[in-house]
Structure 1
């Protein structure tokens, strides 16, 4: 069975899913973001098979989301977020806000975020880049952009 090539679609959501739509990828990015940068750390935390982890790390490096840095002569590598990957963490924070609101249950959120600028515990919120007002699906009109399919 051939996999659909989401990256070739004229849709930014589809193109993003082509990079991180496989379920392990966001979890790998989360772990690298919090400081688990070595293969064995990632494998132990996620309980993922070595084969699948190798495939996902290679794909994320090929997509420019992670970079490999040698830390040993064997060679062994650490994985670090690129600028492109760091921006995906923003997306993960929005996903976390949704999960905390709708799926955390009575126990509450499993992780809290302390904002560096103010020192307060907070959560990610979508805001308009122009006026700063909250921005949700019902607050916008999707319009064709310059890269829209004709």
Structure 2
């Protein structure tokens, strides 16, 4: 599986030393994250992604190629044996907490009070609890209690 962070940094990286910037370069546009969201929700075919998102076919083709090239999705032969389907890789599944955090932020800030919206539930039907990052001591972490630290020869943000 290709790893975009190996070798010489691509000139296409917005900020080659920043993990946040590199992540956004890979999956930071709206369509890529909606494709990953739908893959997590069971979409597998080009047609399913197109119908669920309403994305233009040429843009969907581009995003599926990019997500596949960077190991977020993989192509597999469909059970019918006639077409290819897209499936999440482990790299793609690792985006679950990212999408969950975006969803929970949206539930709090993107809807008017009382406005209808979807919610994510677990297998028992209980609403998924809010993600709250904690430190090694169990204390809640936020922008005021964390900072970026340079490691090795990399500059991180």
- The alignment's TM-score, normalised by the length of structure 1, stands at 0.84
Moved over 4 A (4+): none
Q: What residue is the counterpart of 1:135 in the other structure?
A: 141
Helix, strand or coil at the partner of 2:55 = coil
- Flag the 1:48–1:119 CA change in 2: closer, same or farther, 3 A: closer
Flag structure 2 segments of 5+ consecutive residues without an equivalent: 1-10
Provide closer, same or farther for how the CA distance between residues 50 and 86 of structure 1 changes in structure 2, counting only shifts above 3 A: same
Instruction: Tell me the residue number matched to 1:145.
Output: 151
In the alignment, which of 115, 119, 130 is matched to residue 112 of structure 1? Answer: 119
Q: Structure 1 pair 125/108, CA: closer, same or farther in 2 (3 Å)?
A: farther
Contact 1:38 1:79 in 2 (8 A): yes
Residue matched to 2:91: 84
Bigger helix share:
1
SS in 2 for 1:6: coil
Structure 1 Cα separation of the partners of residues 131 and 60 of structure 2: 31
Report which structure shows greater RCO (CA 8 Å, sep ≥6).
2
Comparing both structures, which one devotes a greater share of its residues to strand?
1
Partners in 2 of 1:147 and 1:85 — Cα distance? 27
- Distance of 2:118 and 2:136 partners within structure 1: 30
Does the CA contact (< 8 Å) of 1:10 and 1:148 recur in 2?
yes
Once residues 18 and 70 of structure 2 are traced to their aligned partners in structure 1, the CA distance between those partners, rounded to angstroms, is 17
2:74 is equivalent to residue 67 of structure 1: yes
- Contact (CA 8 Å) 1:112, 1:121: kept in 2 or not? yes
Aligned length: 145
Secondary structure at the aligned position of 2:94 is classed as helix
Tell me, yes or no, if the aligned pair for 1:64 and 1:84 is still in contact at 8 Å.
yes
TM-score (norm 2): 0.80
| TM-align CA RMSD | 2.3
Name structure 1 gaps, 5 residues minimum: none
Q: Taking structure 1 as reference, are residues 143 and 149 closer, same or farther at Cα in structure 2, changes over 3 Å only?
A: closer
